[in-house]
Amino acid sequence: MNGALDSLARHGSLILFFAVFVDQIGLPLPSVPFLLAAGALAGAGRLNWAVIVAVAGVGSLIADTIWFFMGRVQGIRVLKLLCRISLEPDTCVRRTEDIFSRFGMKGVVVGKFIPGLSTVMPPLAGIFKVGLPRFLVYDGFASLLYVGTYVLLGVLFSNQLQPLLDALGQLGFRAVLLVLGVLAIYIGLKYLERQRVIRELRIARITVDELRKMQEANEDVFIVDLRSELAVKEDPNLILGAIHLSPKDVSARHQEIPRDRDIVLYCSCPNEETSARAALLLRKRGIRRVRPLLGGIDAWRERNYPVGPNPAAVRKPAVA
């Protein structure tokens, strides 16, 4: 065992702290391989498993606390930031909002083990005004459970992992290049997939000025707000005349969307990612005249065009 593995054996705590912190802060550097390798080294007596679990857990907790305060201060805007840097543009954001809405802080524990969700959970806790002590208790437990699970797996399977570690040790710097190459390919494929979806509907997009002219000309246009439930709760106003459908309901309720007029979809994610995916789905359902709104509701507001309350919310009876 030499090279990178010797470095991990000598500076295991520092390397694990950095790897887990970077992973949980949202950068595309998976920490699981480091945790498994550290567990295997602990099984071989080269590292103290309790120390590395504690240090890696602190790294995760610090990263999550940063996101928690960003959610507390920035509100829903922090999700737009995550939408920009995520490899799965806003799919993970919507999915995490659903989990948090259903399970609350228990979802933070579950989300730790689902790639992409663990970074979005802490700012959601801040947005929902969860108390800091409560957040630290749940997230601290989730962080220790996360790193402890993978370190324990490394310890239990250290005999099976040892030949792999020895092979990587013999490769030395070439092993690092191999890992970086695989990571680069993964990021590249995700980026190309994202660009493909955007490119397929770029020609069909409609601008906010064009949509407003259609409204002023009393053209029969059907507008659908595709923002998440959390986004609508924080900002309940819709583009004037729009109805709200959550992205997960588009497929199930596509019969409610007319086929005989122009359909305009909008969201609040950069590049109209949600609108683009929903438009592709609706086209497969036979709805051809569907166009994403360029810039979404943010571009609409920048032009000071009219907005109104959610019709569904207005029709709901008052609850004592």
Give residue 192's pLDDT. 72
Task: Return the pLDDT at 288.
Answer: 80
> What are phi and psi for residue 244, nearest 5 degrees?
-105, 130
pLDDT > 70? residue 93? no
The percentage of the chain sitting over the pLDDT mark of 70, rounded to a whole number, equals 73
**Domain end position, chosen among 199, 231, 256:** 199
| Nearest-angstrom CA–CA distance, 280 and 266 | 13
Say how many domains are in the chain. 2
Least confident of 143-147, 213-217, 249-253: 249-253
Where is the domain boundary, 167, 184, 199? 199
Main-chain dihedrals φ then ψ at residue 291, nearest 5 degrees: -140, 130
Where residue 85 falls among pLDDT bands split at 50, 70, 90? Answer: low
What's at 156, amino acid-wise? Answer: L
Say if strands 307-309 and 237-239 run parallel, antiparallel, or are unpaired. Answer: antiparallel
Both tokens of 85, joined, read 């840097």
110 burial class (0-12, 13-18, 19+ CB within 10 angstroms)? middle
Indicate if 142 and 185 belong to the same structural domain: yes
Closest to 227 (Cα-Cα) out of 72, 68, 83: 83
Same domain? 28 vs 170: yes
Residue 122 to residues 20, 78, 131, 319: CA-CA distances in angstroms? 15, 11, 12, 31
Query: In this predicted model, which residue has the larger pLDDT, 205 or 116?
Result: 205
Question: The pTM is what?
Answer: 0.60
The domain containing residue 8 runs over which residues? 4-199
Question: In terms of pLDDT, which residue wins out, 97 or 60?
Answer: 60
Residue 63 C-alpha from the chain's centroid = 15
Query: Residue 315's CB: how many other CB atoms inside 10 A?
Result: 7
Q: Is residue 150 domain-shared with residue 213, that is, in the same domain?
A: no
Task: List the beta bridge partners of residue 265.
Answer: 224, 292
Residues 124 and 137 in one domain: yes
The amino acid present at 53, given as its one-letter code, is V
How much is the pLDDT for 305?
A: 93
What value does the mean pLDDT take over residues 153-180?
64
What is the mean pLDDT of the segment spanning 237-251?
85
pLDDT at residue 15 in the model: 84
146 & 283 share domain: no
118-128: average pLDDT: 85
Block residue for tokens 């000598």: 10
List the single range of 28-37, 140-149, 158-167, 225-234 with lowest mean pLDDT: 158-167
pLDDT at 318: 37
Beta strands per DSSP E along 41-107: none
More confident residue, 195 or 297: 297
Q: Which of 155, 183, 199 is the last residue of a domain?
A: 199
> Could you report the per-residue pLDDT of 175-227, keeping only the tens digit for each?
556 666 776 776 677 667 666 655 665 556 889 999 999 999 999 899 999 88
Residue 186 resides in a domain: yes
320 within some domain: no
We report the CATH number of the domain holding residue 254 as 3.40.250.10
pLDDT confidence of residue 95: 61
